[in-house]
Amino acid sequence: MPASTVWRLLLLGLLAAAARGDSTFRRFNMSLDAPPSQRWGPILRQYNIPLLKKFLDEIVRSVAPQWAIHVVNQLAPVLTNILPQPYQEEIEGISKILDVNLGDVLLVNFAYEILGYCTSIVAQDTRGIIYHGRNMDFAFSDILRIITVDIQYVKKDQIAYTGTTFLGFVGLWTGQKPNKFSISGNERAKVNWWKTAIAAILKKSPSPSWLIRDTLSEATNYHEALKKLACTPINANVYFILGGVKQNEGTIITRDLNKPVDIWPLKPAEGQWYRVQTNYDHWKSPPSWDDRRTPANRALNYTMQKNINLNTMFKVLSIRPVLNERTVYTTIMCAARSDYKTIIRSGKTNKLDYKKNYTAA
Ligand SMILES: *[C@@H]1O[C@H](CO)[C@@H](O)[C@H](O)[C@H]1NC(C)=O
Ligand SMILES: *[C@@H]1O[C@H](CO)[C@@H](O)[C@H](O)[C@H]1NC(C)=O
C-alpha cells in the first residue's frame, strides 16, 4: 500500500471515531423550529471538523472543474440573494461552523448533486402495501460511508420527515414523510452539468435534491408530491421515484429541467407490481457495460409479488451489480408503516446468484 493511502485510511478512521455512537452509522434529529443557520451545528460538532473540511475539500477539487470553482466563488455574494430558503441560511450556517467561505460550502453542495450510478425500486405486494428501496452509488464512497447520516426533521416534537444525506449537504436524495410518501432521486444524463446547474440556479430553479426536500416538507399526500416533483423547474435532469401509502401509489418520473418527460406508474392489475429505475430512460435499453436493470428485474421476478417486503427488497438491492464497489448506502422505506432504514454498504460484493441464494422463503 502506498504511504499516502495508509495516511488517508488513518485519517478516515479518525473521522469515523470522532462521531459518537455506532462507528459506521448515525441518525440525528434536526430541529426545524431552530433558525436555519443554527440547525447543522449540533450535528457537525460531533465530528472532527478539521478532518471533515479536508475531505470535503478533496471531494470538491476532484468533482468541480477549475472554472466552476472560480465562478461559484465569484458569484457567492450574489447567490445568497438568489438561493431559496431554508437552503441559503443553512449553507451560511454551515460555512460559519466549518469556518470556510460560502463558495466552498456551495461547491460541496453542488458536488453532491452529481450523483453516481444509483438504483431505485418501488413495488406493491399482494395486499397493496408499497415498498421503496434505493442504492446510492458514488465516487469517494470511502469518505461518504463515514459522513452519511439519517436525519429526522423535527417540528413541534413531531417527525415531519426523515431523510438520508451527507454531512454538509442541505438537500435530500432519499426521504420519507411518515404515513404519506417516500421519494428517491437518481441521476439522469449529466452533459454540461456545471454549466446547466449554475445557469438554472441564477434563474432560481432549485437543485433536484432541494425539490425533494421541499416536497417532503410541503406536500401533504402522494398526489401533491407527484405534481410538485413532475412540474417544478429544476437545475438538472433527474429521475424521481415516488412511493405512496395506498394501492397503485408508486411511479417513476423522468424529468427535464422544466417538465416531465415521462411518468411511469405501477400497474399491479396488469401484473406490473414493481418499477426499477437506474440511470437510463426506461423505454431505452441500458448500455451493456452498465446493466443493473435486468439483474434487478430478474431478482424481483424470482422474489414474486407475494413475498416482497423490506427484507426481500434489501436482498434485491444486495445482488451484484445492483450492489457494487461504489454503493455507499441502501435505504429501505415503507411510508404506510413509517419504516425507514439505512444500511451503509461495505463496498464488498460477491457473485451471489439471486435464484440460488436469495429466493425468499
Ligand atoms: C427525536 O425527535 C423525536 C420527536 O420529537 C423524539 O421522539 C426522539 O426522542 C428524538 N430523538 C433524539 C435522539 O433526541
Ligand atoms: C420479469 O417478469 C416480467 C413479467 O413476467 C417479464 O416481462 C420480464 O421479462 C421478466 N424480466 C426478467 C429480467 O426476467
pLDDT of residue 192: 83
* 29 CA → ligand 1 middle, Å: 6
Q: Residue 350 — pLDDT band, cuts 50, 70, 90?
A: low
Domain identity same for 151 and 280 = yes
The Cα 327–Cα 177 span in angstroms is: 24
The Cα 254–Cα 239 span in angstroms is: 5
Number of folded domains that form the chain: 2
Mutate to test the pocket of ligand 1, among 20, 22, 29 (most ligand atoms within 8 A of CB): 29
Instruction: Please give the residue range of the domain that contains residue 175.
Output: 119-357
- Is the CB of residue 344 less than 8 Å from the CB of residue 329? yes
Domain identity same for 104 and 215 = no
More confident residue, 351 or 279: 279
Q: Is the predicted pLDDT of residue 338 greater than 90, yes or no?
A: yes
Give the number of whichever ligand sits closest to the CA of residue 159.
Answer: 1
Atom nearest to 27 CA in ligand 1: 13
Domain identity same for 280 and 338 = yes
Average pLDDT of 138-167?
A: 94
Q: Would you call 239 helix, strand, or coil by DSSP?
A: strand
pLDDT of residue 17: 62
Q: Residue 197 — pLDDT band, cuts 50, 70, 90?
A: confident
The Cα 9–Cα 132 span in angstroms is: 33
Domain identity same for 40 and 105 = yes
Domain identity same for 170 and 91 = no
By the 10 Å C-beta count (0-12 exposed, 13-18 middle, 19+ buried), 62 is classed as: exposed
Domain identity same for 103 and 139 = no
Atom nearest to 271 CA in ligand 2: 4
Domain identity same for 348 and 255 = yes
Q: Is residue 29 lining ligand 1, measured as CB closer than 6 Å?
A: yes
By the 10 Å C-beta count (0-12 exposed, 13-18 middle, 19+ buried), 185 is classed as: buried
Domain identity same for 98 and 161 = no
Q: Residue 19 — pLDDT band, cuts 50, 70, 90?
A: low
Return the minimum-mean-pLDDT range out of 23-27, 180-184, 307-311.
23-27
Q: Is residue 298 lining ligand 2, measured as CB closer than 6 Å?
A: yes
Average pLDDT of 286-296?
A: 95
Q: Is residue 159 lining ligand 1, measured as CB closer than 6 Å?
A: yes
- Is the CB of residue 259 less than 8 Å from the CB of residue 231? yes
The Cα 243–Cα 130 span in angstroms is: 7
Domain identity same for 243 and 351 = yes
Partners of residue 148 on adjacent β-strands: 166
Question: Where does a domain end: 81, 111, 141?
Answer: 111
Query: Full-prediction pTM beyond 0.85?
Result: yes
Q: Is the predicted pLDDT of residue 124 greater than 90, yes or no?
A: yes
Average pLDDT of 152-174?
A: 97
Q: Residue 21 — pLDDT band, cuts 50, 70, 90?
A: very low
- Is the CB of residue 112 less than 8 Å from the CB of residue 169? yes
* 175 CA → ligand 1 middle, Å: 17
The Cα 316–Cα 318 span in angstroms is: 5
Percent of the chain with pLDDT over 90: 71
Please name which of 95, 37, 106, 99 lies closest in space to residue 73, comparing C-alpha atoms.
106
* 99 CA → ligand 2 middle, Å: 53
pLDDT of residue 139: 83
The Cα 84–Cα 182 span in angstroms is: 23
* 245 CA → ligand 2 middle, Å: 25
Q: Is the predicted pLDDT of residue 29 greater than 60, yes or no?
A: yes
* 75 CA → ligand 1 middle, Å: 38
Q: Would you call 346 helix, strand, or coil by DSSP?
A: coil
Domain identity same for 223 and 339 = yes
**Centroid of chain to Cα 137:** 9
Average pLDDT of 250-278?
A: 97
- Helical H segments across 203-332, by residue range: 208-218, 222-231, 293-303, 310-316
Mutate to test the pocket of ligand 1, among 26, 150, 152 (most ligand atoms within 8 A of CB): 152
> Please, what is the angle between helix 49-63 and helix 87-98, to 10°?
120
59-101 tens-digit pLDDT? 888 888 999 999 999 988 888 788 999 999 999 999 999 999 8
- The residues annotated with a catalytic role in the active site are 118
- Which residue's CA is the closest to the ligand 2 atom numbered 13? 298
Domain identity same for 127 and 9 = no
The Cα 84–Cα 248 span in angstroms is: 33
Q: Residue 344: which CATH number?
A: 3.60.60.10
Question: Where does a domain end: 111, 135, 157?
Answer: 111
Place of cell 455507499: 328
Of the spans 11-20, 145-154, 351-360, which averages the highest pLDDT?
Answer: 145-154
Q: How many CB atoms lie within 10 A of CB 298?
A: 15
Of the spans 42-56, 70-84, 209-223, which averages the highest pLDDT?
Answer: 209-223
Q: Is the predicted pLDDT of residue 24 greater than 50, yes or no?
A: no
Strand order from edge to edge, sheet including 339-344: 274-277, 119-124, 130-137, 327-334, 339-344
Q: Is residue 228 lining ligand 2, measured as CB closer than 6 Å?
A: no
Q: Is the predicted pLDDT of residue 355 greater than 60, yes or no?
A: no
Tell me which amino acid residue 300 is: L
pLDDT of residue 352: 56
Task: Catalogue the E-assigned strands of the chain.
Answer: 26-31, 119-124, 130-137, 148-155, 158-166, 174-177, 181-187, 238-243, 250-255, 260-265, 274-277, 327-334, 339-344
Atom nearest to 297 CA in ligand 2: 13
Q: Residue 256 — pLDDT band, cuts 50, 70, 90?
A: very high
Question: Where does a domain end: 75, 94, 111?
Answer: 111
- Is the CB of residue 331 less than 8 Å from the CB of residue 342? yes
More confident residue, 65 or 335: 335
Cell of 349: 460484493
Domain identity same for 133 and 279 = yes
Partners of residue 267 on adjacent β-strands: 272
Average pLDDT of 314-335?
A: 95
Q: Is the predicted pLDDT of residue 354 greater than 60, yes or no?
A: no
